[in-house]
Amino acid sequence: QKEVEQDPGPLSVPEGAIVSLNCTYSNSAFQYFMWYRQYSRKGPELLMYTYSSGNKEDGRFTAQVDKSSKYISLFIRDSQPSDSATYLCAKKTGGGNKLTFGTGTQLKVEL
């Protein structure tokens, strides 16, 4: 079983929709979770960072961690065409700054 699993999509939604992106993880050690956004032909950039469980909100973005079900979610409200990108969930899985990434979900927001 992979340490972090993510539905690859692609996911296509109309502008203004609420988007839900999800990952699951298997190892409960190191309760640091992140969402990275990757535009085409670019490197990933950190979008959201959460520690342990609960919600964290930043503008139109909400990151949620459910420790009991080992579920990581990212919600995007009022989605915009500029949100079209690949979203990568990640989890700290070792000492130092070792992260394990999901395979990414490709999102397209259409006008």
Partner 1 sequence: EAQVTQNPRYLITVTGKKLTVTCSQNMNHEYMSWYRQDPGLGLRQIYYSMNVEVTDKGDVPEGYKVSRKEKRNFPLILESPSPNQTSLYFCASSLTSSTAGELFFGEGSRLTVL
Report the residue number, 85 or 90, with the smaller CB distance to partner 1. 90
> Alpha-carbon distance 61 to 42, whole Å?
21
Among residues 36 and 62, whose Cβ is nearest to partner 1?
A: 36
CB nearer to partner 1: pick between 79 and 105: 105
* Closest distance to partner 1 from the beta carbon of 78 (Å): 26
Our measurement of the distance from residue 9's CA atom to the centroid of its chain's CA atoms, rounded to an integer in Å, reads 13
- Smallest gap from residue 38 Cβ to partner 1 (A): 8
Q: How far apart are CA 111 and CA 44, in angstroms?
A: 24
**Smallest separation (angstroms) from partner 1 to the CB of 19:** 20
User: Taking the complex as a whole, how short is the minimal distance between the CB of residue 51 and partner 1, in angstroms?
Assistant: 8
Question: H or E element: which one contains 40?
Answer: none
Closest CA to 75 of 98, 66, 67: 66
- Residues near partner 1, by CB under 8 A: 6, 8, 30, 32-34, 41-46, 49, 88, 90, 92, 95-99, 101-104
| Closest to 35 measured CA to CA, from 79, 88, 72, 91 | 88
